[in-house]
């Protein structure tokens, strides 16, 4: 059995006829009992946004995605609300999703045509007026 920071015991996942190595990278259906244990481990709170969730409003998530070599071991599983799980997918980390949720997403500089004198842009030869009072 594995110890975790929440000080409860979680039994490793056993799949009849398959070892953990054989299930590596493969999706596994977790039992309701196991889902409830993980929900209780996180005290009903999403591991990313810390929002309290009902049992039916959350999902088990792989910290390191199966697509990137993650396992189904208890140390690689966390409880997420549906919103955070959808945002995270298999491409983002917890930190990236947390930044998005908190609105700290880095703003990329707008790439486009450079402004010229008079607030116009050289694009198709059309003049864009930025100051309506000048008309």
pLDDT at residue 45, as a whole number: 92
Residue 8: both structure tokens together: 């409860």
Q: What is the pLDDT of residues 82-111, one digit of tens each?
A: 988 888 887 888 888 888 877 754 455 555
Domain annotation for the chain: domains and CATH numbers = 1-105 (1.10.30)
Residues above pLDDT 90, as percent of the chain: 7
pTM exceeds 0.85 for this model: no
Residue 117 CA to residue 112 CA, distance in Å, equals 16
CA 107 to mean position of chain CA atoms: 19
DSSP state of 76: G
User: In terms of Cα–Cα distance, which of 51, 52, 42, 43 is closest to 61?
Assistant: 42
Q: What is the pLDDT of residues 34-51, one digit of tens each?
A: 889 889 998 999 988 888
pLDDT at residue 102, as a whole number: 76
């Amino acid at each position: 059995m594995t110890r975790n920071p929440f000080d409860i015991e979680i039994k490793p996942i056993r799949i009849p006829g398959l070892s953990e190595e054989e299930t590596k990278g493969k999706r596994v259906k977790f039992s309701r009992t196991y889902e409830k244990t993980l929900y209780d481990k996180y005290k009903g709170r999403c591991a990313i946004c810390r929002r309290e969730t009902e049992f039916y409003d959350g999902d088990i998530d792989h910290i390191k995605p199966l697509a990137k070599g993650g396992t189904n071991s208890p140390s690689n599983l966390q409880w997420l609300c549906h919103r955070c799980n959808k945002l995270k997918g298999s491409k983002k980390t917890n930190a990236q999703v947390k930044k998005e949720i908190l609105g700290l997403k880095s703003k990329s500089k707008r790439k486009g045509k450079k402004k010229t004198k008079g607030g116009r842009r050289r694009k198709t030869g059309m003049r864009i007026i930025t100051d309506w009072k000048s008309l």
